Amino acid sequence: MFENPKEVLNPLPEKKRRVTAAAAVSAAAVKTDMHSEQLSVLAQKNCPLKSFKVDQDAIRRIDRNTLCEILDGQHCNLYDRYVIVDCRFEYEYEGGHIAGAVNINTKERLQEALIANSPATAGERTLLVFHCEYSAHRGPRMAMQLRQLDREANMERYPLLHYPDIVILDGGYSQFFAGHAARCFPQQYVAMKDNADACEREMDRFRRTMKTKKRKAVGRSKTFTFGSTAPAVDAFVVSPVAVTRSRSALFSQPLKTKRSLNVSSELDDEVAKALAEEAENDDGSFDFETTPPKQPMFERRRLTGFPKLSQCSLF
């Protein structure tokens, strides 16, 4: 039952578990599968694809020259395919876009085009390049939205992702068109503010699409159990913390909006109903008998046993 003090001070070394060759091969296969399926190429050291980080979000950026290298196939050994996602509005996209880019500017379109049509082949690497006019608002928002949808779709097999490599074109279409207009089709540049009516309409729709639901603040009546609702009596709400209290007359009787008669509580129900009927039939003027004013609390009294001053005789 009791151990030797020497054994406590110098415990025996545990026996090393023997790892079989089959277990080692299986672990290596799982590690290779996870490496080929979810690890980002951009996060690896000495990656030939140049990218950089920014302080605004966690999505990496590439410049227009790096995008030209991707279009020319210089990084085909890193990725099986690439997709350029143009997040601008339709009239901007139709006015001129990067050759081969697809127009996706809503959350629903992201779900249909990329998440529902995710790579079916395990280990297939896809590079997504997001951009808008300047890659300042719409492009980053759509990229972050796709990452969130990708996490939700792969929740059961975290940390695996369909698209681990997502980048944003720094400067957007404006800078790319300024340096490589020949790679755009058609070779034009339509700004967002060129069509004021469509810009306002599409921007409102974009804000509604990307708007996240805010959680309502918890009031004092819901602090003990969040989400519970208390029963309401007409315009008053019963606090859930006071369910054990006795119900008062205010909650036991329905509220009335009629003009009150100020009847004493000692009268019975029949007298109260009679007064209420008389008040309804009356023209609005009440002629109740007024009560006499109350006597003062301390009343001055003349002392008895002493004659009045007029009855006193002068000596």
| Phi, psi for residue 70 in degrees, rounded to 5 | -65, -40
Helical residues (DSSP H) of the chain, grouped into ranges: 5-9, 21-38, 64-71, 90-95, 107-110, 138-153, 172-179, 196-210, 249-252, 269-281
Which residues face 62 on adjacent strands? 169
CA-to-CA distance for 74 and 48, rounded, in angstroms? 10
With beta carbons less than 8 A apart as the criterion, state whether 139 and 60 touch: no
With beta carbons less than 8 A apart as the criterion, state whether 79 and 125 touch: yes
State the residue for tokens 């059961």: 156
Chain center to CA of 76? 39
| Residues whose CB is less than 8 angstroms from the CB of residue 207 and which lie 6 or more positions away in sequence, other chains included | none
Four-point Cα dihedral 108, 111, 114, 116, nearest 10 = -130
Helix (H, G, I), strand (E, B) or coil at 119: coil
CA-to-CA distance for 237 and 226, rounded, in angstroms? 16
Q: Is 132 a catalytic residue?
A: yes
State the residue for tokens 């808008």: 132
Q: Which of 87, 132, 184, 312 is catalytic?
A: 132
CA-to-CA distance for 302 and 82, rounded, in angstroms? 113
Cis amide leading into 186 (omega within 30): yes
Active site residues: 132
